[in-house]
Amino acid sequence: MRQYQEEPSRRITGLSYPRGISSNPRNGVLLVLDGERVRYYRTAPDGSLREETAHGLTVAGAQSVAATKQGGYRVLVADPQGQATKTVHVQVSGAGARMVPAHDDPLPEPAWAIAPSPWGDMDYVSLSAWGIRYQAGTGRGAWRSEGARSAAGDWWQEMVRRRVAYEPDAVLVSRVVPTQIPIGRIRLTAVAQVPDGTAVEYDVSTDGGTTWTTVPPDANAEVPPGFDFAYRICLHTDHPLDLLKTPTMDRVEVRQVVATNGPAAALNLRVRARLTR
C-alpha cells in the first residue's frame, strides 16, 4: 500500500474559508479558493510553496477554480440568484492577474464545480446535474462543448454513495396525525442551521398529504380546514460538493392554534434531518 506523509515546507496556513483547490504540475502552480479569493502558490527552488499575492484575485461569486496550462486559471462564478452559469478567465503575467471578459464562457446549465483538463491549453471540465461536460477552447476567445469527451448520466448518485457530495435536494415527510377538532391555524417552530447558499421550506397538509401549503416558521399560519395533519420539510443546497454547506434540521414542533390564539394541542412531531451524504 502506498504511504503518504506531510511535507511541512508545503503546508498552507492562514486560510479563512478554503472551498476548492487546483494545480498545474507543469509549472508548479497550486491554486486555493479561499472564500471568493483565489490564492496563487508556486513551488520555490527549495521545494517550499510560496504565495504570489500579485497573481491571486478576488472574484465576486466565485464557486470553484481550475488551473490552465498557460499559468492562468478559470473561475466558476454564480449570478445574483446563486446559479453558477458561467466561467471567467484570469490571465497571469509578470505584472499581475486580470480577468479577460472577452473569454467568459456561458455554460449550458448551472454547474457545481470545474476541474482542469489534461488536454488543450484552455480546456476545462464542468460538473453539473447534466453530467460531466468537457469545454474545449476554440483559440478565438470562445468555448464549445465536446460530446465525445463529455459524459451525461446519473453519476451524481455514485458521488453521494461514496459520501463525497450531498444530494442537492431532499424531502422529509412526517406521519399523518388525526386531530379531535378541525385544524384551521397552526404554528410551526423549527430549530435549524441554514448556511448561505442553502434553504429550508416548510409545508403542511390537512388532507392526508394530498395537497400542501407552505408556511413560515415561528408564526401563526392559516391552513385549509381539516381533521388530520402532516408536515413536509424541503432541504436544498446550491453547493452539493461543499461538505460544510448543508441545511441541518434539529427539531420541529407544531401546535394547533384556536380562535383565541392560544395553543389547543401540541402535535409534537419531532425530526432531525440533513441532506444525504
**Where does the pLDDT of residue 137 fall: very low under 50, low under 70, confident under 90, or very high at 90 and above?**
confident
Q: Is 161 helix (H, G, I), strand (E, B) or coil?
A: helix
Q: Which residue type is seen at 223?
A: V
**Interval 159-171: pLDDT, tens:** 655 555 677 888 8
**What pLDDT is stored for residue 115 in this prediction?**
92
Per-residue pLDDT, 6: 75
**Contact by Cβ (8 Å): 40, 29:** yes
Q: Are strands 220-237 and 198-205 parallel, antiparallel or unpaired?
A: antiparallel
| pLDDT of amino acid 274 | 47
Identify which of 41, 61, 66 has the alpha carbon closest to the alpha carbon of residue 53.
41
Backbone angles phi, psi at 262, to 5 degrees: -100, 155
Each residue of 86-134: pLDDT tens digit? 999 999 988 899 999 989 999 988 888 999 988 877 889 998 878 888 9
- Work out the average pLDDT over 11-32: 88
Residue-by-residue DSSP string for 94-114 = TTEEEE-GGG-EE-SS-EEEE
Report the C-alpha gap between 111 and 77 in whole angstroms: 9
- Residue bearing the bigger pLDDT, 198 or 25: 198
Highest averaged pLDDT of the listed ranges 116-120, 190-194, 211-215: 211-215
The per-residue pLDDT for range 26-58, each reduced to its tens digit, is 788 999 999 999 999 998 888 888 999 999 999
Residue 276 has pLDDT above 60, yes or no: no
